[in-house]
Amino acid sequence: MARISKQPVSVAILTRIHHQTAPEHLGTEFLEVGDDFIRARVPVDARTRRPYGILHGGVSVVLAETLAERAGFDLEGTLRNKRLDLVGELRNTRVYARVPV
């Protein structure tokens, strides 16, 4: 269990607290929590595609907000600017996100 904030955080905890939320509905999977990052992915499928078959921009925002809300506070609880790295194809695959803290 990593300590990237005042509260302990793990993949299991992130998965549990996002039960019945927008990230869960969109298929977000929390993959890894390190001492200074959180990594997750979201599928590009019928739930998340635009009519043209590519990832809907709003899904990227949900993914970014989901990770940033947890990673946005350092050990002292102060909000810091974050960089979100999105990697992946926008069609028929998964998009991965990593937020350094």
Residues with catalytic annotation? 65
Radius of gyration of the chain (CA): 13
Task: Name the residue among 86, 48, 45 with its Cα closest to residue 65.
Answer: 86
Task: Name the residue among 78, 82, 98 with its Cα closest to residue 5.
Answer: 78
